[in-house]
Amino acid sequence: MKSLSSEAAEAAPVSDLVTAAEQSLPRQADTLARARAFAEPLISGETLDTGENTLVHADAVAAILKQMGGSEAMQAASYLVYACAHLNRPHEVIAKAFGESYATLAIETTKLVAVQRQTRDNDAPTDSREHAENVRKMLLAFSRDLRVVMLRLASRLQTLRWHAASRTIAPPGVAREALEVFAPLANRLGIWQIKWEMEDLAFRFLEPGTYKQVARLLDEKRAEREQYVEQLRQQLEAELLAQGIRAEVHGRPKHIYSIVKKMRGKSLEFENVFDVRALRVIVGDERECYAALAWVHERFEPIPGEFDDYIARPKPNGYQSLHTVVRDAAGRPIEIQVRTHAMHEHAEHGVAAHWAYKEAGSKGYAGVSASGEYDAKIAVLRQLLAWERDLAGAGTGLFEDRIYVLTPQAAVVELTRGATPVDFAYTVHTSLGHRCRGARVDGAMVPLNTRLKNGQTVEIIAAKEGGPSRDWLNPDLGFLAGQRARAKVRAWFNEQHRHEAVARGREAVEKLLQREGRTAIKLEDLASQLGFRSAEDLFFVVGKDEFSLRNIETLLKPTTAPESADEVLLKKPRSSAGPAKGGVLVVGIDSLMTQLARCCKPAPPDRIAGFVTRGKGVSVHRRDCSSFRELAAREPARVIDVEWGGGEGGAVYPIDVAVEAADRQGLLRDISEVFAKEKMNVTGVQTQTVKGTAWMTFTVEVADSQRMSRVLAQVSEVQGVRSARRR
């Protein structure tokens, strides 16, 4: 009968509960008995979700932890974990009665249990991989105290044992977690007993038909097989002793799940699975391991490709042993493992249990020195880190720098340590971050700069529309810990600034076009002629007052602007009958002045045409010049044919080269060096930078524009240059 009901416990003052715990046994009584006496009145009359009595479950977990090598302190925690749910202030109560360490362990384990249950209840059945990944993340997050992990392993094994003993079906989610998360974790930590039993029990519930089939095959010739293995065991032990090797030889238990995996992985029939008949040889030292192996290979026929030396090359979790498969005289395969007593102890209990109750020794595991409790703990942490990397497939992230919290739908969200609800909102979705106005953590409203902790459930209160606060970018206020979230906030404000600048620039450009009577011109074409990738980029720099509207005015009036600003006087031809040396031949008209239009800057051997201006002579354009096409369409009678002269006299022509590049220090110098190397005179440079992109226009003197193809190719190879073209 319960000495104190759950209801009474909840209502009792903290001091009364502590006093009851202290008086339940004499003060010299061990912690394990005190913890059980403390929890018994609270949990003996209740059952878990599975239907198992809570106190019975706690007793079994403590026994499993003892078998694993866990200390009495860890065993005691198995009772305190289940007592937490019945206490108003569990941390305060347990800390006063048993100490801070026990209180932290009980609270953290209780929190992990609640998180697992929540994720299992909310994940869809078809999302088994995602669910398994969520549970892995939570285990990693809570593994800073490895006792939490050990307690969860022992608890899950007991749950499976209870379902098997009571002949009830374990929920698929519980069995799947055991097979896909807890068993691999036990394997990583080298706790083989837990791994194998958990795999078999979970597989029994997930695939009962296959389990029964393999179990039946094992049973059909069990007596014959066991008699043969026992006979072989005795023979091997005696013959090794005759060789001077004192060895313990044992038959190995048959693990159904491992048999099924081998049958499926290698497409084997049951009789061809090697570890159906298996022996383990345990000797005194490493030298005897190899001596025993040599004798086994002399006595039996080794099967090629079935030998592994895990002594010379231990597994990542520190496991060491020699594995071989041989055939007897009848051709039957036999798997034999050879190891020392120390290797066997480690294989059975794993490095985690060693850390829990004793030093790991000077040699350590897998080459990791573990001369004391601290080093042994580091060895375990490294295994958990390796487990995390294995699951992720790549990367070297340390989970000490991360926390894992939950959405209200129990989805696990990974954050950097020190993250706030604002960081959480931006991680879930950028839009949610922008609209974040408040947050609930575990159901309670908190300030947006609250630092989140592992396992908390976070709910964001968001406006229907809106943007972030500039305060979020103030590091002194502590609203953001993650760089990605901070970058998203900056990007939002930058985009707002850009929209405003683009709107101002568009208005200014359109007013100019109206004033000049050129509203028919395409804005994208105008931007391209000015060296911009799009009209919006032009509007942006105009709106920021970084680009003068005079540049647009000059472009719009190529044939009427003053000579110094718009046209280059080349020279007058001496007669219409022959070419001007190095100049342009104007066909059929004598003594006309010729000028090269600045809008397109032609140079030999470009295809050219002339336009007779009013009082300025003939303006020479490239035939593909958009300004020329517009003039020719408006007044075709003023277009005349022209062609290049003989090129004598070393005449040079100015042309413009437009370069787009990622802005960096030394960019202008590196591009100018290309022109200098090609002995091209640079007479002018215009540059502007927009959002890290440099737009540069070089005016270069050339005698022949065809040379530019090679030069432009060289400019394109300069670091950061994205494109180089003639304008």
One-letter amino acid of 595: Q
The predicted pLDDT at position 374 comes to 37
The predicted pLDDT at position 121 comes to 63
More confident residue, 385 or 159: 159
pLDDT at 449 over 50: yes
pLDDT at 16 over 60: no
Q: How many other CB atoms sit within 10 Å of the CB of residue 30? A: 12
Mean pLDDT score, 642-649: 68
- pLDDT-above-90 percentage for the chain: 17
Mean pLDDT score, 417-440: 92
Q: What is the homologous superfamily of the domain 400-481 according to CATH?
A: Beta-grasp domain (3.10.20.30)
Distance CA 625, CA 632 (A): 11
pTM passes above 0.75: no
Based on its alpha-carbon atoms, the radius of gyration of the chain, rounded to whole angstroms, reads 41
More confident residue, 142 or 446: 446
Q: Of 148, 152, 133, whose CA–CA distance to 387 is shortest?
A: 133
pLDDT band at 338 (very low <50, low <70, confident <90, very high): very high
The predicted pLDDT at position 350 comes to 61
Domain ranges of the chain: 6-202, 216-357, 400-481, 653-726
Of 288-292, 343-347, 578-582, 624-628, the least confident? 578-582
Q: What is the homologous superfamily of the domain 216-357 according to CATH?
A: Beta Polymerase, domain 2 (3.30.460.10)
Distance CA 85, CA 276 (A): 46
Distance CA 397, CA 413 (A): 16
Mean pLDDT score, 390-409: 58
Q: Is there a common fold for 6-202 and 400-481?
A: no
Mean pLDDT for the chain overall = 77
Residue in the block written with tokens 């004192």: 246
pLDDT band at 11 (very low <50, low <70, confident <90, very high): very low
pLDDT at 580 over 50: no
Q: Per DSSP, which regions of 155-295 are E strands? A: 248-251, 278-283
The predicted pLDDT at position 40 comes to 93
pLDDT at 371 over 60: no
The predicted pLDDT at position 38 comes to 92
Distance CA 346, CA 639 (A): 96
Mean pLDDT score, 307-318: 84
The predicted pLDDT at position 222 comes to 64
HSE-CB at 110 with a 13 A cutoff on CA atoms is 18
pLDDT band at 129 (very low <50, low <70, confident <90, very high): low
Question: pLDDT tens, 477-495?
Answer: 999 998 889 999 988 888 8
DSSP secondary structure of 485-546: HHHHHHHHHHHHHHHHHHHHHHHHHHHHHHHHT-TTS-HHHHHHHTT-SSHHHHHHHHHTT-
State the CATH class of domain 6-202.
Answer: mainly alpha
CATH number, domain 653-726: 3.30.70.260
pLDDT band at 696 (very low <50, low <70, confident <90, very high): confident
DSSP secondary structure of 309-356: ETTTS--TT----EEEEEE-TT--EEEEEEEEHHHHHHHHHHHHHHHH
Q: Which of 131-140, 351-360, 660-669 has the highest mean pLDDT?
A: 660-669
Mean pLDDT score, 94-100: 88
Q: Is residue 244 helix, strand or coil?
A: coil
